[in-house]
Amino acid sequence: MSCLDRVNLAEAKDKFPGEISGGMQKRVAIARAIALNPQYLFCDEPNSGLDPQTSLMIDELIQSITREYNMTTIINTHDMNSVMRIGEKIVYIHDGCKEWEGTKEDIFTANNQQLNDFIFASDFFRKVKDVISS
């Protein structure tokens, strides 16, 4: 199976970058990254500029490729939905310094003001924290 087949993009092999959607471009980037069967997959904002449905599909693709290729995946993201969907070990970095490390289960009870300000800027996550805390 080719890398483009693996990310469900066999039909894009003869297209120029400007001829494919943002979601397809993200999948091409993943295909390029796995071409040499690496130990690590680094993803920088893999969901930026994507609609929620495509973002979910990219997260699922990253998860399945991580398992299939038995690699460690490091994701830099500001998308808390993605973090909660696929994150296992989470490291919060602020101004270039590691501020917090834990699991997605730990994130709601973290005692770090900068992390809390970032996470709970979302109404949804604020409501989840309120439910967990009560």
Which strand (E) or helix (H) includes residue 43?
Answer: strand 40-44
Domain boundaries along the sequence of the chain: 1-87, 89-134
1 — pLDDT class (breaks 50, 70, 90): low
Percent of the chain with pLDDT over 70: 99
Q: Give the span between the Cα atoms of 11 and 123, in whole angstroms.
A: 40
Which residues in 73-84 are b (16+ Cβ under 10 Å) and which e?
bebebebbbbbb
Q: Give the span between the Cα atoms of 84 and 17, in whole angstroms.
A: 30
Pick left, alpha or beta for residue 70 (phi over 0 → left; psi -120 to 50 → alpha; otherwise beta): left
- pTM here is 0.81
1-87 CATH pick, 3.20.20.70, 3.30.70.20, 3.40.50.300, 3.40.50.10800: 3.40.50.300
